[in-house]
Amino acid sequence: MLRIAGLLVAMMVNGGDNKEATDRLVPESWKGNPWGPAAAKARANGQLPPIVLTPSMKRWDRWGKAVLKEGDIVFRRGDARVLFGYFPFSRFIANVSGSPFSHTGIIAVEKGEPVVYDVTKAGIRRQPFCVWVLDNTGPFGVKRLRADWRSKIPTIIRFCRETYEKQVPFDYVLGLDDSALYCIEMTEKAFRSAGLKLSEPVRLGEMERVSEFPICMFAFRHLSPLRIDQKVFFPGNDRHGIWSSHYLETIHPPDRVGAARPSGRSPTARGSARS
């Protein structure tokens, strides 16, 4: 199925500006990963302007500080588009795989602030949580390691930081080796570095709802260089993927109403934010 994925993902680079909402916080003059180590250093020395928080970002910032803990996995649905912005790639992948989500990241707490390590086509990123959440366009969720396994968190965070410093490239062909990474793969491999296998990859042609999207699947088979039998990691749902892992407990369930937004009155996550 993912044959078209490779083609469509490649088109993401060439059609329109196709920028993440968070990338638009960075001046056009900046070249390279706007949320990588070089950009972090540039913000620290004044070469890049500081991030100015909007009222919504301030609410997310309070929410993140009250709820999130190191090692949490944050899930969201993005709005990555291809074919010059006409094909909603993130929505398609989420729908065909039967997941509310299309993207994951891992929380670290640095200088008292929750930050997210993840991957986009720009490379490995580290963003304040209140910035990362700007790219959410639908359901949002949070999972946390169960108490018996939380001693593994330092190893998981070390993997994220080392991968970030190395700036491992984005995996446009969605392979399973370590030469390049896509977002779900980075999350999975960070936990595997600590001996925790959260999920198994799924063959593209065996995604849960593949039969409901015959036209798109036909395009995938005939336009993409990827194979229909290729295995890929997915955010998943209660039955498969990272979301289903028995190592994890739900801190914030999927918001199926639309883009998740914290209330103005100190939002808290369902399921014991302090557990």
The answer on pLDDT for 169 being more than 50 is yes
Q: What integer pLDDT is reported at residue 268 of this predicted model?
A: 38
State residue 180's pLDDT score: 94
95-112: per-residue pLDDT in tens?
A: 777 889 999 999 999 999
Is the pLDDT confidence value at 160 over 60? yes
Q: Which residue has the higher pLDDT, 203 or 33?
A: 33
Task: List helix spans (H) across 17-88.
Answer: 37-44, 55-67
Cα 107 to Cα 127: distance, rounded to the nearest angstrom: 10
| Span 32-41, average pLDDT | 95
Stretch 11-38: mean pLDDT, rounded?
Answer: 76
Q: Residue 223 is encoded by which pair of tokens?
A: 């336009």
Pick the more confident residue, 87 or 89: 89
**Per-residue confidence band for 3, with pLDDT thresholds at 50, 70 and 90:** very low
Find all residues with CB under 8 Å of 148, minimum gap 6, and list them: none
Q: Classify burial at 205, counting beta carbons within 10 Å of its beta carbon; exposed 0-12, middle 13-18, buried 19 or more.
A: middle
Percent share of the chain, pLDDT over 90: 56
Closest CA to 106 of 38, 197, 188: 188
